[in-house]
Chains A and B, each alone.
Chain A
Amino acid sequence: MSKRIFLWMAKALLSGVIAFAILTGVCMLYYNLPVHYDTVDGATDYSWEKNKFYSRGTEGFAWGKTNNEGYLNPIDYTESTQVDILVMGSSHMEAYNVPQNKSTAGILSSMMPDKTIYNIGISGHNFLVCADNLANAVNKYEPKEYVIIETHGLAYSDVQLQTAIDENVTDLTSYTGGVLELLQKNPFLRLIYSQLKSFSGNAADDAAPPISTETTIGSEENYCSLLAKLSDTVSDKGSQLIIVYHPSLILNKDGTASANVDQELSEFFAACCEKNGIIFLDMSNQFLESYENESILPHGFTNTSIGTGHLNKNGHALIAESLYEIMKAVG
């Protein structure tokens, strides 16, 4: 009897190893995220493993290779690289759900082949984190023409705004070293971790960053102080700051769509930007126009709920076109 049990356990172990190897192989293509490490320069809180193949099939499907700094960027960066336009933002700008040449930065690069556009957008870096890192990023890359910061939301409380003004936003943590790093290197285990996190009600690792649901909107003073600081940081280097705001569209029962925007806040934010010499690009109208004319939504993929989640190819294209028009107009 004990021999039979032992034999069965040996078979089960062998089967487990084989199944695990197969699943890992499948996940190499389906869900292969690099490990992220803290950055020294502080341009972003972290960056991915350098020159590493990645793929994601959970929301859209795209694959590519991180660059020599660990960003999802078609070009490498060396000290001799002269960056014209620096793109910052969250996973929306990072654009791991679309091919790199279909991201906002990728499309802009093809529209302006003579400019060097460098994208350091990376997951979790919402507007406040970008604001916190802006000085380091500008110091390192010294963009000659523009700095673009992307945001999916505008609502922040006074406490949140103040931490950004003080450059005191909590850093996003990297779990590296020892067993944890080793476990993250296995794509199947990484997928399971993300799934379990999502099952337990937390956002999965690759989920779109939540739109701030802050109900106590910060004061005009704090918003303007932060924006003034950001503008100064960028203009000190002779560059122009552009903030791109891309709200989701909500489908109405009658088939029309409306932008998920707090109109008052958006107008006030725009006024604050104007006062501080920042170009504020609110994509609501372009998104709505594109929906009305072509029934195209800027967010969502063919394997997720339509209109929700990350920017899709259409969303990136619309943002890139709008940015191109603005930059062309500014000259």
Chain B
Amino acid sequence: MSFASLEFLIFFSVVFVFVLFLQKFKNTLYKEFFLLVASYFFYGYWDWRFCFLLLFVTVAAYITALFSHKKLALAVGIIVPLVVLGFFKYFNFFLDSLETLINKDIGTLAIILPVGISFYTFQALSYVIDVKREKIPAEKIFIKLALYISFFPQLVAGPIVKASDFLPQLRKDRHITLKNVETGIQLMVFGLVKKIVIADHLSVFVDDVFNTPAAFSWISILLAVISYSIQIYFDFSGYSDIAIGCAKCFGYDFCPNFNMPYISENVTAFWRRWHISLSTWLKEYLYIPLGGNRKGKARQYINLFITMLLGGLWHGASWTFVFWGALHGGALCIDKLIPKKKKRKTIFRVLSVLGTFLFVSFTWIFFRSDSFTNAWLIIKGIFTLQDGIIQPFFWTFIAIAVVCIGTVIAIIRTKKRNEYEVNGFYPLFNLNTVLGLTILFLVCGLILGLAFTGEHPFVYFQF
């Protein structure tokens, strides 16, 4: 059940009405139990068998966290989600790699990759570790923990909500309110525009070029690479907006997952703005435990590199993802070597933004390609000024215009507020005014009229 589907609209409406009724009870457990059942229904809609795996990961996290003061329990609490993730996502990948290494056919297992496994296993891990670190107490009520891990807005593609951010919200009475719904609905609508109007249309061109790069001219390939950079941003940030808006409607807050990543002046800044929940997770639960920057410069670079390498692998069981992570890891290390000036001339800042965007776009080639051969064809096509089909794809220019206009508005807004750092924002309207309502209806009308009607699931579902 995708967010951009009629099924989800019906599901969300039904759940919303029931929660509205259940929040009248003083005991919040009724509401939370219902949300839990709804979340399992949402997840089981893909394949009901996945629910047992989700339950298993949750039960393991629940029990081990209760005994996290014991080393064995902690170890089990960490190992179980990792084994689940490793088996379902990486088993065949490692077998394939071994096969290639020893040049012998050892066969593979027919394993279905459960949707969202990378996200909820990370959430389970974060819970067990946060309890051990005494950031939060172990949750005694199973329903609350299960809801944290399986809450449907973030279940299949994030954001990766930390236990220390979400569980405390379950201890307070969060309600559906007019204000929350007003904000939530608008976030969902903006997310839908990003996903089904912009990202999905871009996917048509990107898929064409990445499927047959040898047929296209260098300029078309370059445009497709830029299109993919924008597509993946709008696709994933659109999904995050819908997830955040959906949770907001029920009264829960998720942290923003994106903050205008393509205005970053360097790769370090990019990772502070891109998939924030993942980069924060990797920092807190991988980079810092590895030693972070506490063990000297050399170890810091190694730790950074390992973190990004594993971050790449987290995205998908393929060496192209590992290489993508390695490129970012390398860039982060180089970036650390370069001394930073607080105030820089605007021209240098603009050039840095452009350079960072080009580097990130280059790395996306490996992220999007299904093999190194394909990635090489794309790169070769651009750098050898290949002849071929010239396709000035209309939606690419629309998307670039949207990004540029959004950036200019954000910069003007930053200047007005006398801030140094440009931050993204949601243009939320007052839905108690004719203007606010008209804009909302206009955007809804545009979604209906311009939505891409073909099949195109969210990019991050595969992770």
Chain A residues proximal to chain B, CB less than 8 Å: 8, 11-12, 14-16, 18-20, 22-23, 27, 30-31, 188, 191-192, 195, 198-199, 204, 251-257, 295-297, 302-307
Contacts and interface: CB of A to CB of B under 8 A. Distances in A.
A195 B453 contact: yes
A302 B392 contact: yes
Given A251-B212, A255-B215, A15 B388 contact: no
A31 B446 CA distance: 13
Interface in B107-160: none
Contacts of B201: 303
A20 B211 CA distance: 40
Contacts of B449: 23, 27, 30-31, 188, 191-192, 195
A199 B433 CA distance: 32
Contacts of B395: 303
6 contacts: A11-B434, A15-B434, A23-B449, A303-B393, A303-B394, A307-B208
B448 interface: yes
A192 B217 contact: no
Contacts of A304: 204
A255 B448 contact: no
Interface stretch (B226-234, B290-298, B437-445): B437-445
B451 A195 contact: yes
B389 interface: yes
A31 B449 CA distance: 10
Contact of A204 (B394, B442, B453): B453
B389 A19 contact: no
B370 to A, nearest CB: 12
A297 B217 CA distance: 13
B405 interface: no
Contact of A255 (B204, B212, B433, B442): B212
B199 to A, nearest CB: 15
B432 interface: yes
Nearest to B444: A19
A16 B453 contact: no
A22 B434 CA distance: 14
A23 B453 contact: no
B404 interface: no
Which of B389, B432, B433, B446 gathers most chain A CB within 10 Å? B389
A16 B207 CA distance: 37
A254 B214 contact: yes
B390 interface: yes
A252 B445 CA distance: 39
B389 A12 contact: no
Contacts of B391: 302, 306
A239 to B, nearest CB: 39
A199 B196 CA distance: 12
B99 interface: no
B212 A252 contact: yes
A295 B214 contact: no
Given A11-B437, A195-B451, A204-B453, A255 B214 contact: yes
Contacts of A8: 432
B214 A253 contact: yes
Contact of A19 (B211, B388, B442): B442
Contacts, number: 87
B387 interface: yes
A283 to B, nearest CB: 18
Interface in B200-243: 201, 204-205, 207-208, 211-212, 214-215, 217
Contact of A11 (B389, B392, B432, B448): B432
B445 A302 contact: no
A137 B254 CA distance: 65
A12 B441 CA distance: 9
A198 B453 contact: yes
Interface string B370-412: 0000000000000000011111111100000000000000000
Contacts of A305: 204-205, 207-208
A295 B446 contact: no
Nearest to B446: A23
A237 B75 CA distance: 90
A302 B441 contact: no
Contacts of A254: 214
A18 to B, nearest CB: 5
B208 A306 contact: yes
Nearest to A10: B434
B438 A295 contact: no
B208 A295 contact: no
Contacts of A296: 389
Nearest to A19: B441
Contacts of B453: 195, 198-199, 204
Contacts of B393: 302-303
A195 B214 contact: no
- Which 5 A-B residue pairs are closest in the complex by CB-CB distance? A255-B214, A19-B441, A15-B437, A198-B453, A303-B394
Nearest to B391: A306
Which of B204, B217, B449, B451 gathers most chain A CB within 10 Å? B449
Contacts of A199: 6, 451, 453
B380 to A, nearest CB: 12
Nearest to B212: A251
Contacts of A251: 211-212, 215
A19 B451 CA distance: 17
A277 to B, nearest CB: 39
Contacts of A307: 208
A74 to B, nearest CB: 26
A168 B392 CA distance: 44
B318 to A, nearest CB: 19
Contacts of B214: 253-255
Contacts of A255: 212, 214-215, 388
B131 to A, nearest CB: 45
Which of A14, A20, A251 gathers most chain B CB within 10 Å? A251
A19 B433 contact: no
Contacts of B207: 305
Contacts of A16: 437, 441
Nearest to B445: A23
A15 B441 contact: yes
Contacts of B204: 304-305
Which of A11, A20, A257 gathers most chain B CB within 10 Å? A11
Contacts of B211: 251, 253
Contacts of B392: 302
Nearest to A197: B453
B442 to A, nearest CB: 5
Contact of A20 (B208, B387, B445, B446): B445
A253 B389 contact: no
Nearest to A297: B389
Nearest to B373: A253
A254 B434 CA distance: 56
A22 B202 CA distance: 26
Interface string B176-206: 0000000000000000000000000100110
B163 to A, nearest CB: 38
